[in-house]
Structure 1
Amino acid sequence: MNIANNLKYNVKILSIFPEVFPGPLGVSLIGNALKKKIWNLDIINIRDFAKDKHKSVDDTPYGGGAGMIMKPDIIGLAIDSLKDNRSKRICLTPRGKLLNQDKVKELSTEDGLILLCGRYEGIDQRVIDFYDFEEVSIGNYVISGGESATFVLLESVLRLLPGVLGGNETLNEESFSDKDLLEYPQYTKPRDWNGICVPEVLTSGNHNEIKNWRDKQRIEITKSRKLDT
């Protein structure tokens, strides 16, 4: 495993819109971790491997249908240029396996990630099969491309790397970190806001009662929210 060997976690993104990166990954804790070289980011512009003067990366689908399909030969050249057989290969697509916290934890232990961002009506299936990409979805809805989904996946994974958040307590108390329970409600000053007071137990100083209250809240919130889904 990469992390065990104190090596950087390498992220390589294949996209036709390289200018959107690092975007939100370049700020706050994830951005600081990038500056500290806890993880590394390489962006590959798929259009750089197109052969025609228009840098076309798509064509009409066999069998007919709406939209255009990203071409396997061009994407293949982009993937081959990476010369990376160790990193986990992920293709973001609505039909993929739904991303959850268990999958996020699994991906955080890989040597790194190669992320393929689709556009138009999708990517030629032969690319996914030949290069053994795992198809992953961030939800049961459709967005215009894989770039936005890549931000979601990477932020969830990178924050689990050692040294990114600075402590394990934060991770341990978050939603889905323990028995798939959601996080308890949080409060800060002022104690009274618009006539709404912070729950008295949280100001009691009794750590056992606070823990019991938080545990109860997590269970009740999880039950109510999961009944709604």
Structure 2
Amino acid sequence: MRINIVTIFPDFFRDPLAISIPGRAREAGLVEYRVVDLRDHTHDRHRTVDGLPYGGGAGMVMKPEPFFEAVETLNPKGPVVLLSPRGRVFRHADAVRLSLEEEVTLLCGHYKDVDQRVADELATDELSLGDFVLSGGEVAALAVTDAVVRLLPGVLGDHDSAASDSFYEAPLLSPPSWTRPYEYRGRSVPDVLRSGDHARIQAFRERLARELTRERRPDLWAEALRRGLVDGDEHEG
């Protein structure tokens, strides 16, 4: 797989893409990263990538030409994703979908906004991390990259590690985890986890996952109810 990232801060990605799972995936030849400096696709001595907004208002707007020229130079074969607070919220299903692509291109905005023609004519998708605003699309691009790369076959040594994550198959949070020591500052690991009874352990974890989801993510709980993945009587209780 190849992931292209278009940004005015290419140095932002140097270390994060070289360590942990993204770095190991690249070393194993499972993914290639191409980080493109948007300023390399400008044509003035100041390497200008932004301008004043039409109609007035605060802040600067990123110009369309550098984005179009950068993507045309890359000539990508897959989705072109603009990271934007106006985008649809990025979900695990999006990570799965993108992980099946041969190539994904991520466009990082900055300043006040990006010229709307980038979203309308260049991007195939517009995604957001949530209902908050970041200084730029770089953090979001890293989050999307990590979420996608860890799903590639062979990246994680233990597939069950990903399969037991929140949202993997059902819209439920994953249950809490404990490790050694058994007791720490007066709090102990639940005894069922030390019982060796795998059926009881599985039932315990599933119950905690349902309880946490119902309490903390009513939107996910409603989706699980709609899909018949949890019992409506449990919801009432």
Residue deviations 1:142-192, cap 9 Å, x none?
Answer: 011000110111111110000111232112211111321111111111111
Q: Which residue of the partner structure matches residue 79 of structure 1?
A: 71
Deviation at 1:64, TM superposition (A): 0.9
Per mean C-alpha deviation after superposition, the further-off stretch among 19-28 and 54-63 is 19-28
Q: Which residue of the partner structure matches residue 34 of structure 2?
A: 42
Native 8 Å contact 2:17 2:23 kept in 1: yes
One-letter amino acid matched to 1:184: P
Per mean C-alpha deviation after superposition, the further-off stretch among 87-96 and 46-55 is 46-55
Deviation at 1:227, TM superposition (A): 4.0
Aligned counterparts of 2:56 and 2:182: Cα–Cα separation in 1: 63
Paired residues, number: 220
One-letter amino acid matched to 1:82: L
Q: Which residue of the partner structure matches residue 19 of structure 2?
A: 27
Aligned counterparts of 1:177 and 1:77: Cα–Cα separation in 2: 37
After superposition, the Cα gap between the structure-2 partners of 1:132 and 1:149, relative to the gap in structure 1 and judged at 3 Å, is closer
- Structure 2 counterpart of 1:173, from 147, 164, 167: 164
SS in 1 for 2:114: coil
In the TM superposition, what are the counterparts of 1:127-146 in structure 2 within 5 Å? Answer: 127-146=118-137
Deviation at 1:205, TM superposition (A): 0.8
Native 8 Å contact 1:88 1:111 kept in 2: no
Aligned counterparts of 1:144 and 1:204: Cα–Cα separation in 2: 48
TM-score scaled to structure 1, two decimals?
Answer: 0.92
Aligned counterparts of 1:77 and 1:228: Cα–Cα separation in 2: 40
SS in 2 for 1:81: helix
Q: Which residue of the partner structure matches residue 89 of structure 1?
A: 80
Native 8 Å contact 1:187 1:198 kept in 2: yes
> Quick check: 1:115 aligned with 2:98?
no
In the TM superposition, what are the counterparts of 1:1-229 in structure 2 within 5 Å? Answer: 9-84=1-76, 86-227=77-218
Aligned counterparts of 1:206 and 1:150: Cα–Cα separation in 2: 42
Native 8 Å contact 1:99 1:137 kept in 2: yes
Residue deviations 1:183-216, cap 9 Å, x none?
Answer: 1111111111111111011111111111111111
- Structure 2: stretches of 5+ with no match in the other structure: 221-237
One-letter amino acid matched to 2:50: D
SS in 1 for 2:32: strand
TM-score scaled to structure 2, two decimals?
Answer: 0.89
Aligned counterparts of 1:126 and 1:196: Cα–Cα separation in 2: 56
Percent identity of equivalent pairs: 39
One-letter amino acid matched to 1:158: V
Residue deviations 1:53-72, cap 9 Å, x none?
Answer: 11111111111111111111
SS in 1 for 2:36: strand
Residue deviations 1:18-44, cap 9 Å, x none?
Answer: 111133232112211111110000011
